[in-house]
A = this chain, B = another copy of it.
Amino acid sequence: MTKRFFLPESELPRQWYNIQADMPTKPLPPLNPATREPVTVDDLSHIFAHECAKQELDTTHAWIDIPEPVYEMYKYYRSTPLVRAYALEQYLDTPAHIYFKNESVSPLGSHKLNSALPQCYYCKQEGVTNVTTETGAGQWGAALSYAAKVYGLECAVYQVKVSMQQKPYRSSIMRTFGAAVIGSPSMSTRAGKDIITRDPSHPGSLGTAISEAIELATTTPNCKYTLGSVLNHVAIHQSIIGLEAEKQMQMAGEYPDIVIACFGGGSNFGGLAFPFMRHNLFDGKHTQFIAAEPDSCPKLTRGEFRYDFGDSAGYTPLLPMYTLGHDFKPANIHAGGLRYHGAGVIVSQLLKDGYMQGVDIPQLETFEAATLFARTEGIIPAPESAHAIAATIREAKRCKEAGEQKTILFNLSGHGLIDMTAYDQYNNGDLVNYSYHKS
């Protein structure tokens, strides 16, 4: 039985997929909060690399060339394996076929490098010398720290304070790559100071850390802001996951009935789902797309679709998104990468139009799923990815009840080796569920 499918190097995708060009209803434009006018590429270029800004608003080109030097860096770790989870299937005694895309074996242990590399490459091309960003769990910050080093850029990372405490090793990893790491909220920005003044024990959130990083980028010469999720250009870069998976599923002789990924801002979800979704749009496929979010941070299942800021201080354009409100203070769950108030613009429109669905999962269920996955497949998953595993197990059990042989594909977006304190809490019975409270 073949367990892993790799692409021959010659089959590696040379273009990313931009679903914006193919969407029946285009996303609403981001707005300048002052003028309420749609933002332009030039507006966004104050914050981001110009090429990223272009991709962000590109609703016409479905395929975007991967720059040759980025492609060369991808070859260090891509394709990532597509794995058939026979042992998990057997344990669940399900007729479902379960596959996962194993992004955890990339350097840094997650999918985040897929976008960190092009973002830093574009910055370098455009004469930028410094990049900055926010990070929750630290997966994005670690990836950016390495990508910055690859292209000779200085890197400063605002890490959400609670994640920093939960996962101290991730800060060490970023420092090992030469990045400066600052706990957020910090006193180094106006946005951070404002929050600390109101709430000195604020645990931080992605929204706040984004504000701090944007403030640094806009007040520092030759410095650009980069983002690890939420935005359209990130989803474009992450499409490499789904494009590879599409070819690898062909090698396995199957096509997914269900595609599942965890959901923070939407990058690993979109990355895996969108290349398959185009076959729903054009080729009569009926794949079901499930985004798994924490039930304590449920923007997909309980958020409102409206214009909102992407950060807590209101530095970003207004984005048309499912949101819990940009001042939402998420519970201290261990899946730091999912502690974000809003959903990316593309996903929000697709959810509104019924092309995908959200499910919300309690923390304990995610760790139960993670432990089962570890004991069967040998890989300790990131708490974020454990949401996708839990949703997969729910579907596999449904298949068993219904006697249906469905093919499920999920994204193992990262490993959890830096998250062992969370597993300790779970193993000791100290882990709890949090419920959602509207802020």
Chain A residues engaging chain B, CB cutoff 8 angstroms: 1-4, 6, 9, 72, 75-77, 83, 87, 105, 107-109, 113, 146, 149-150, 168-169, 172-173, 175-178, 371, 374-375, 377-380, 417-418, 420-421, 423-424, 427
Contacts and interface: CB of A to CB of B under 8 A. Distances in A.
Determine chain A's interface SS by DSSP, over half rule. helix
Contact of A3 (B76, B83, B109): B76
A378 B107 contact: yes
A121 to B, nearest CB: 14
Nearest to A422: B172
Stoichiometry, as copies per complex, reads: 2
Contact of A375 (B1, B178, B423): B178
B427 A375 contact: no
B380 A173 contact: yes
B109 A417 contact: yes
A150 B90 CA distance: 12
18 contacts: A1-B72, A2-B75, A3-B72, A3-B75, A4-B9, A4-B77, A6-B6, A109-B417, A146-B375, A149-B375, A169-B169, A169-B418, A172-B421, A172-B424, A173-B417, A175-B427, A176-B420, A417-B418
Contact of A177 (B149, B173, B375): B375
A87 B108 CA distance: 16
A377 B3 contact: no
Given A4-B76, A172-B424, A427-B175, A377 B107 contact: yes
Most B CB contacts (10 A, CB to CB) among A149, A172, A418 go to A172
Contacts of A108: 378
A433 to B, nearest CB: 20
Given A6-B6, A108-B378, A173-B423, 16 more contacts: A3-B76, A4-B9, A4-B76, A4-B77, A76-B83, A76-B378, A107-B377, A146-B375, A146-B378, A172-B424, A173-B380, A176-B375, A176-B380, A177-B374, A177-B375, A418-B420
A168 B427 CA distance: 14
Nearest to A370: B176
